[in-house]
């Protein structure tokens, strides 16, 4: 039996494992995909908003020639951090449920990529799953069409195509700029009166210049109300609708954490934000011995917790587990 099972091998899950290791606790990370899968899903040319220092875990230096590191640099860094600390990671193994036993320990029921089911035992469990598995659906006709995606990897497949980008956040702006570089015709549709105030400051002027030059057609105070194989319908708040010829739709509408594991273990949710109940000083939920770390600790607003804040959850957890052992 492990002292701790950590579900999720994102930066916050890795950090939690490192902090537990430092306290002499045995740990295992269970990851249904592979290490830092969420970062892998970022656009290939994505640059972080944070500096390298704010992304570091386990006192492993994150060096980069850039003030703000890029996706590929982060993938290398977190692989190196996990290797340097000798973390035990069960990749391609999905945690299906968490069961608390009468003695207070836990059984984590899992299945691996070969379909083999296992029951793993631990005295404590940390749930540190991300949020890229559940995109925020719009709920409009045609959203299920193969031309629609909630993920943007790179622009090359859209060369010369008519693409509608839905959203006004950093992901939408970055996608729009990448698309025009490969000759795509871009319509960007956003419900707000202006794009997000949180756009990266070094990106905003470039985006606004492309809109002014007509490289990107920006539809503000508007929403896509229907998608067909050959077009999209854009409806303004005033009620006026326009049909646009279209080849692909990138719905950059964000994601939300899955609460399945938390619910299976009996964790309470606070208010209508589906935020798990936990003690912010220890990250322990209402279930003794079950902790949350990273973005899973946030409500519906996934931007409430970032790597730079979530990476600190592991130390709170490890300290609390050890303090319980001493009492």
Question: 2 pLDDT exceeds 60?
Answer: yes
- The rounded distance, in Å, linking the Cα atoms of 270 and 113 is 34
Q: What mean pLDDT do residues 302-315 have?
A: 76
Transcribe 204-265 into DSSP letters: HHHHHHHHHTTSEEEE-SEEEEEE-SSEEEEEETTS-EEEEE-SEEEE---B----HHHHHT
Count of Cβ atoms closer than 10 Å to residue 278 Cβ: 23
Q: Are strands 93-100 and 106-112 parallel, antiparallel or unpaired?
A: antiparallel
Query: What's the predicted TM-score (pTM) here?
Result: 0.86
Beta-carbon count within 10 A of 327 CB: 4
Q: Which domains does the chain have, with CATH numbers?
A: 2-133+255-326 (3.50.50.60), 148-251 (3.50.50.60)
- The answer, yes or no, to whether residue 154 has pLDDT greater than 90, is yes
Average pLDDT of every residue of the chain:
92
Find, among 324, 42, 31, the residue nearest to 170 by Cα.
42
Phi/psi class of residue 250: alpha, beta or left (left: φ > 0; alpha: ψ in -120 to 50)?
beta
156 confidence band (pLDDT: 50, 70, 90): very high
pLDDT in tens, 109-145: 999 999 999 999 999 999 999 777 778 899 999 999 9
What pLDDT was estimated at residue 261?
Answer: 87
pLDDT of residue 272: 59
> Residue 229 pLDDT more than 90?
yes
E strand or H helix that includes residue 187: strand 185-189
Cβ atoms within 10 Å, residue 30: 26
Q: Is the confidence at residue 19, as pLDDT, over 90?
A: yes
Across-strand partners of 218? 188
Looking up tokens 């608390």 gives: 100
């Amino acid at each position: 039996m492990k002292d701790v099972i950590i579900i999720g091998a994102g930066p916050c899950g890795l950090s939690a494992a490192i902090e537990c290791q430092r306290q002499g606790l045995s740990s295992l990370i269970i990851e249904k995909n592979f290490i830092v899968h969420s970062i892998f899903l970022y656009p290939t040319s994505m640059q972080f908003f944070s500096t390298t220092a704010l992304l570091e875990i386990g006192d492993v230096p994150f060096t980069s020639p850039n003030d703000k590191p890029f996706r590929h640099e982060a993938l290398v860094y977190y692989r190196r951090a996990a290797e340097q600390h000798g973390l035990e990671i069960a990749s391609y193994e999905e945690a299906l449920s968490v069961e608390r036993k009468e003695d207070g320990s836990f059984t984590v029921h899992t299945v691996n990529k070969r379909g083999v089911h296992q029951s793993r035992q631990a005295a404590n469990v940390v749930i540190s799953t991300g949020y890229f598995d559940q995109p925020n659906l719009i709920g409009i006709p045609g959203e299920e069409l193969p031309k629609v995606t909630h993920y943007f990897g790179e622009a090359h497949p859209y060369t010369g195509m008519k693409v509608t980008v839905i959203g006004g956040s950093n992901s939408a702006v970055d996608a729009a700029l990448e698309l025009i570089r490969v000759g795509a015709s871009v319509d960007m549709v956003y419900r707000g009166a202006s794009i997000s105030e949180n756009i990266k400051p070094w990106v905003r002027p470039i985006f606004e210049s492309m809109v002014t030059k007509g490289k990107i057609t920006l539809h503000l105070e508007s929403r896509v109300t229907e998608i067909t194989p050959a077009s999209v319908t854009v409806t303004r708040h005033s009620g006026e609708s326009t049909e646009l010829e279209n080849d692909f739709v990138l719905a950059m509408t964000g994601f939300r954490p899955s609460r399945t594991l938390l619910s299976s273990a009996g964790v309470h949710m606070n208010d209508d934000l589906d935020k798990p109940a936990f003690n912010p000083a220890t990250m322990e939920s209402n279930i003794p011995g079950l902790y949350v770390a990273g973005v899973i600790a946030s409500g519906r607003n996934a931007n409430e917790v970032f790597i730079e804040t979530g990476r600190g959850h592991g130390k709170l957890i490890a300290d609390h587990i050890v303090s319980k052992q001493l009492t």
